[in-house]
């Protein structure tokens, strides 16, 4: 007689290595060797083992494997967000390289919160990953300490303006911002405003802002106005931000946006308002989103090698490269909006 409540209990009829060995009539270690194609074994044995594996539908247990061999082949990503396309792009680049080498990706999202970052890093470290990849160079004391103590590789991504813990792959946000400022001044813009998002939490945006302002000041043309949205960047925030800034400071001739999402919002506002770009108002972004190349006027921006950052980071880990910093640079796109 079945106990009703028992219906939910699903007994996993998990097939184990030992059962495969039994079925194939060989020893456990032989099955292990065949499956990992490691060590030597005869063709006959190989076939018998594979047949048993097939027949039983055996799926190796990597938890046990990782414990026994002290190698998880897991790479942990602790990223601020999945809404900002930058991070999926990096994941994509790294994921492709890692999958080819049979590594797996685990991720956690911090929402730009250092406290959450620390918690997530601890949680990831519990899986003894081969490497931990983080955004940026700013981390809490505790995070850095754990990472150092963990003994696993650490890769800090998308920022080179500071000191890395181990490996760093990216580009200089400050240099990108300076290049943007110089470009805009060269083009003759004189009353430049800034529309950005939360630059305390997004430290890379903060660094760009600081460097941009400094570059303008160095040329004696300080920032003529700014509007900072309190939350994350988005097209809508960019549109709103520009609207507010123009209401306060109408006579600007160019706007530097914290990134392309924001810039597109500004671009759309101008289109809706009939503000002609760039003659009445110039727009400059950051990131080089694909979308921003296809707008009626391609956006003037900085293109960052996001996918490449992921790929290079992954490759360094696979190669067990010595600690180093790799600058993948950026490209200034002279679009038609500035």
Helix (H, G, I), strand (E, B) or coil at 250: coil
Residue 110 or 172: the one with the smaller Cβ distance to a second copy is 110
Beta partners for residue 325, in sequence order: 168
Read off the tokens for 261: 């999402």
Residue 256 in contact with residue 194, Cβ under 8 Å? Answer: yes
Binding flag, residue 59, a second copy (CB under 8 A): yes
Binding flag, residue 210, a second copy (CB under 8 A): no
Residue 15 or 292: the one with the smaller Cβ distance to DNA is 15
| Burial bucket for residue 60 (CB in 10 Å: 0-12, 13-18, 19+) | middle
Read off the tokens for 325: 């910093």
Read off the tokens for 336: 């038609």
- What is the DSSP code (8-state) at residue 158? S
Q: In 3D, which of 288, 313, 315, 290 has the Cα closest to residue 301?
A: 288
Residue 10 or 38: the one with the smaller Cβ distance to DNA is 38
The residue written with tokens 């240099």 in the block is: 175
Answer whether the bond into residue 278 is a cis peptide, omega within 30°: yes
The item of a second copy, DNA, none sharing an interface with residue 16, based on CB under 5 to 8 Å by kind, is DNA
Residue 12 or 279: the one with the smaller Cβ distance to DNA is 12
What is the crossing angle of helices 86-100 and 306-318, to 10°? 30
Residue 182 C-alpha from the chain's centroid: 28
How many Å apart are CA 82 and CA 108, to the nearest integer? 10
Binding flag, residue 104, a second copy (CB under 8 A): yes
Binding flag, residue 167, a second copy (CB under 8 A): no
User: Least CB distance from residue 324 to a second copy, whole Å?
Assistant: 13
Among 66, 210, 232, 275, binds a second copy (CB under 8 A): 66
**Segment contacting a second copy by CB under 8 A, of 11-19, 175-183, 214-222, 247-255:** 11-19
| Burial bucket for residue 140 (CB in 10 Å: 0-12, 13-18, 19+) | middle
How many Å apart are CA 221 and CA 230, to the nearest integer? 26
Residue 275 in contact with residue 60, Cβ under 8 Å? Answer: no
The item of a second copy, DNA, none sharing an interface with residue 32, based on CB under 5 to 8 Å by kind, is DNA
Question: If you write DSSP's letter for every residue of 284-302 in order, what string do you get?
Answer: E-SB--SGGGTSSSPPBEE
- Using CB under 8 A as the binding rule, the residues of this chain from 250 to 269 that contact a second copy are 261, 264-265, 268
Binding-residue pattern over the window 214 to 253 for a second copy, x denoting contact by CB under 8 A: --------------------xxx--x--------------
Residues binding DNA (CB under 7 A): 14, 16-18, 25-30, 32-33, 35-36, 38-42, 44-45, 58, 60-61, 64-65, 67-71
Residue 290 or 334: the one with the smaller Cβ distance to a second copy is 290
Binding flag, residue 124, a second copy (CB under 8 A): yes
The item of DNA, a second copy, none sharing an interface with residue 216, based on CB under 5 to 8 Å by kind, is none
The item of a second copy, DNA, none sharing an interface with residue 38, based on CB under 5 to 8 Å by kind, is DNA
Q: Are strands 167-170 and 153-157 parallel, antiparallel or unpaired?
A: parallel
The item of DNA, a second copy, none sharing an interface with residue 45, based on CB under 5 to 8 Å by kind, is DNA
Binding flag, residue 144, a second copy (CB under 8 A): no
Binding flag, residue 126, a second copy (CB under 8 A): yes
Residues forming contacts to a second copy in the complex (CB under 8 A) are: 8, 10-14, 57, 59-67, 70, 72, 74, 82-83, 85, 87-89, 91-92, 95-96, 99, 102, 104-109, 120, 122-128, 145-146, 149-152, 234-236, 239, 261, 264-265, 268, 271-272, 290-291, 293-296, 320, 322
């Amino acid at each position: 007689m079945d106990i009703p409540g028992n219906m939910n209990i699903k007994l996993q009829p998990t097939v184990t290595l030992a059962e495969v060995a039994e079925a194939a009539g060989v020893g456990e270690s032989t099955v292990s060797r065949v499956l990992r194609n490691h060590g030597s074994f005869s063709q006959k044995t190989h076939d018998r083992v594979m047949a048993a594996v097939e027949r039983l539908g055996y799926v190796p247990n990597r938890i046990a494997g990782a414990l026994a061999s002290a190698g998880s082949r897991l790479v942990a990503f602790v990223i601020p967000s999945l809404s900002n396309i930058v991070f999926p792009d990096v994941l994509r680049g790294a994921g492709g390289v890692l999958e080819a080498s049979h590594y797996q990706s685990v991720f956690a999202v911090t929402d730009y919160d250092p406290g959450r970052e620390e918690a997530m890093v601890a949680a990831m470290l519990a899986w003894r990953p081969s490497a931990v990849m983080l955004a940026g160079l700013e981390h809490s004391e505790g995070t850095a300490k754990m990472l150092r103590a963990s003994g696993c590789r650490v890769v800090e991504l998308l920022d080179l303006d500071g000191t890395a813990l181990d490996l760093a792959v990216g580009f200089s946000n400050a240099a990108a911002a300076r290049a943007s400022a110089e470009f805009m001044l060269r083009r003759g813009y004189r009353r430049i405003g800034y529309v950005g998002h939360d630059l305390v939490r997004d430290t890379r945006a903060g660094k760009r802002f600081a460097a941009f302002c400094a570059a303008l000041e160095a040329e004696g043309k300080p920032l003529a106005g700014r509007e900072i949205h309190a939350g994350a960047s988005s097209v809508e925030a960019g549109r709103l931000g520009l609207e507010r800034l123009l209401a306060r400071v109408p006579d600007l001739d160019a706007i530097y946006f914290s990134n392309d999402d924001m810039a597109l919002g500004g671009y759309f506002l101008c289109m809706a308002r009939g503000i002609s770009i760039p003659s009445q108002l110039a727009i400059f972004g950051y990131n080089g989103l694909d979308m921003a190349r296809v707008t009626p006027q391609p956006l003037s921006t900085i293109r960052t090698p996001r996918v490449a950052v992921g790929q290079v980071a992954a490759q360094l880990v696979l190669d067990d490269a010595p600690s180093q910093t790799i600058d993948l640079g950026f490209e200034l796109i002279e679009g038609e909006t500035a």
